[in-house]
Amino acid sequence: MKQTMITLSKCAPQRGAEVKEKPVPEIGEDDILVKVLATSICGTDVHIYQWDAWSQSRIKPPQTMGHEFAGRVVKVGTRVKQVSLGDIVTAETHIVCNECEFCRSGNAHICQHTSVLGVDRDGAFAEYIAIPATNAIKANPSTPVEYLSVLEPLGNAVHTVLAQDVVGKSIAVVGCGPIGIMAVDVAKAAGASLVIAVDLNDYRLALAEQIGADACINPKHTDIIETVKSLTQGLGVDVVCEMSGNPIAIKQALSYLKYGGHMAMLGVPSQEVSINIANDIVFKGITIYGVTGRKMYSTWHQSLALVQSNKLHLDKIVTHVLPFEKYEDGFALMESGNCGKVVLTFKEEE
């Protein structure tokens, strides 16, 4: 095995990233080493690439970026039993303590000691990555690795959509970035009766329509509140999946959410949002659920089952597959918004 590897790393506190050679990571007795075959670019990676205010407060260069990936297990620690050499795996990217109250009560997704791949420690934009074996998710090797590499963000969509009963319900997915597009797909697969996609980007709305959205609304061109109510007999939608983090979109969604409805919120606003708690929450009797990561590990079981059911459209959601050395093109696509998921691939070792 090689002693060094190629990585894409944030090496300096400025925009961009650098291809940097680093040692192949060592593993502990409870870890595995994975040869990365495909890794997808997340919105978080774009924030780090742009070196915005959030990344300046969180990232400590030099650090290997990336956290969504799939690959082959090439080394296992001496105490590892659940993963074997040659397995194809993806990974839960939140590494938790397994000891706190939240971890021990089945709520590890909100562990206060979480370390995130590519954010708090070296990530997956590399030829190899070391992870705890407990974070490995064994996958069907017949599934293309570019699809397996997006299972982590798919898990975010699954967690958001299935945080409430959606069978026979009307749903508005607000914000149709890659995870929002996945949420549209999951909602249709889970039996929602009406799925409305909301976004300011016509490319993404067209993609949502391709995978089955019943209505696609661009608030720049249409009165969103009036249109949603007209599609729901004047009552509003049963469920809002808020993926945008946009303050205006959040306020509008609260207006067209049905009395007694549910709002699951994954989008993260960059500023405080002022809302009318009395009229939009209390008197409407709605439920708001905050989504962080994936439930460990029930969301993964749901996600893998949906993929194996062939009810999802990952072939349409993964719009661009590029060789790793074309990473600049991948980031340009992500910044343009005219893409679904962008995946970077490595060659399998000969």
Same fold, 4-149+313-345 and 155-290: no
Beta bridge partners of 137: 90
Give residue 123's pLDDT. Answer: 98
Alpha-carbon distances, residue 25 vs 61, 199, 344 (angstroms): 17, 41, 20
Sign of CA dihedral 29, 36, 162, 102: positive
Reported pTM: 0.96
Find out whether 24 and 1 touch, Cβ atoms under 8 Å: yes
CB 70 within 8 A of CB 89: yes
Write the pLDDT tens digit of every residue in 117-143: 999 999 999 999 999 999 999 999 999
Q: What is the rounded CA–CA span in Å between residue 250 and residue 269?
A: 9
Q: Which residues are catalytic?
A: 44, 47
For residue 23, CA distances in Å to 2, 61, 63, 64, 278 come to 9, 16, 13, 12, 56
Instruction: Answer for the pair 211, 184: CB distance below 8 angstroms, yes or no.
Output: yes
Which SS3 state, helix, strand or coil, does residue 107 take?
A: coil
In the chain, domain spans:
4-149+313-345, 155-290
In CATH, the number for domain 4-149+313-345 is 3.90.180.10
CA distance 61 to 19: 13
pLDDT for position 347 = 84
Task: Give dist(CA 58, CA 45) in Å, integer.
Answer: 12
At the topology level, CATH places domain 155-290 in: Rossmann fold (3.40.50)
User: Minimal CA–CA distance to 263: which of 293, 286, 235, 232?
Assistant: 286
Residue numbers in the chain where pLDDT is lower than 70: 349-350
Q: Give me the pLDDT at residue 270, please.
A: 85
